[in-house]
Amino acid sequence: MEKFLSLFVNFQKQFINLMRGALFLVMVWIGGLKAYQYEADGIVPFVINSPLMNFFYQNTDNTTLNDHNKEVSEYTVYKNPEGKTVQKNIDWHKQNGTYVFSYALGLVIVTIGSLVLLGIWFPKIGFLGGLLTTGMSLVTLSFLITTPEVFVPNLGGDFPTPHYGFPYLSGAGRLVLKDIIMLAGGLIVASEAAARILHRK
């Protein structure tokens, strides 16, 4: 048993580098997808409801009437479900600045992921990448507070909906909550890089 435990101790550095590789893969893949319409459309509820980010969009405070003649936030009637495109919705997103913002965000995410990976060889760059990953994750986790879509809505049905609101995370909410792992990963790689920087001094 002691030899088995020692194996994990001996491979700790490689495991931390594996964490760097995992963070890089996630950020480059997701950041790269920000160049595509469906992904850009999908982040609108998070950004438009965030007091930290909504100034990037043009239609943040706009409201309109939905199909049930109820006043709602305008973005909710211009959603393109994944795998479906509606031209009037795309036109709204173009006017909103959805795609320009998404391209820029994707570039930022890919850059942070690259900094994290470079930390394998360059601890100062890796330290910065780890800090930026942590900061990015904190912003993402704030969506749990600001975005209505992160919790299951009460849409009614044949009988009263038993599970809605807090703490019942929707698909969007479950996606956001996973960023707590990104936050921890950012702190781990930053702390390891900091140790190497201090050791060299």
Asked whether residue 7 is domain-assigned, the answer is: no
pLDDT value of residue 68: 87
What's the pLDDT at 115?
98
User: pLDDT band at 18, cuts 50/70/90?
Assistant: very high
User: Is residue 4, in this structure, part of any structural domain at all?
Assistant: no
Q: With a cut of 90, say whether residue 2 has pLDDT above it.
A: no
Per DSSP, the three-state class of 121 is coil
Task: Say yes or no to pLDDT of 34 above 90.
Answer: yes
What would the pLDDT profile of 50-75 be if each residue is shown by its tens digit? 999 999 999 999 999 998 899 999 99
What per-residue confidence (pLDDT) applies to 159? Answer: 86
pLDDT value for 125 = 98
Q: How far is CA 18 from the centre of its chain?
A: 20
Residue 26 inside a domain? The answer is yes
pLDDT for 37: 94
The answer to whether residue 8 is domain-embedded is no
Residue 175 lies in a domain: yes
Q: What is the pTM of this model?
A: 0.92
- Where helices occur in the chain by DSSP H, the ranges are 2-10, 12-33, 37-42, 44-48, 87-96, 98-118, 123-141, 143-146, 171-177, 179-200
Residue 3 belongs to some domain of the structure? no
Question: What is the reported pLDDT for 45?
Answer: 96
Query: pLDDT-based confidence at 1, cuts 50/70/90?
Result: confident
Answer whether residue 201 shows pLDDT above 90.
no
Does residue 185 contact residue 23 with C-beta atoms inside 8 Å? Answer: yes
Q: What CA–CA distance (Å, rounded) separates 167 from 172?
A: 13
Q: pLDDT per residue over 92-139, tens digit each?
A: 999 999 999 999 999 999 999 999 999 999 999 999 999 999 999 999
Domain count, the chain: 1
Residue at 176 is within a domain: yes
For residue 1, tell me if it sits in a domain: no
Range of the domain at 87: 14-200
Write the pLDDT tens digit of every residue in 149-192. Answer: 999 998 888 888 889 999 999 999 999 999 999 999 999 999 99
For position 161, what pLDDT does the model report?
83
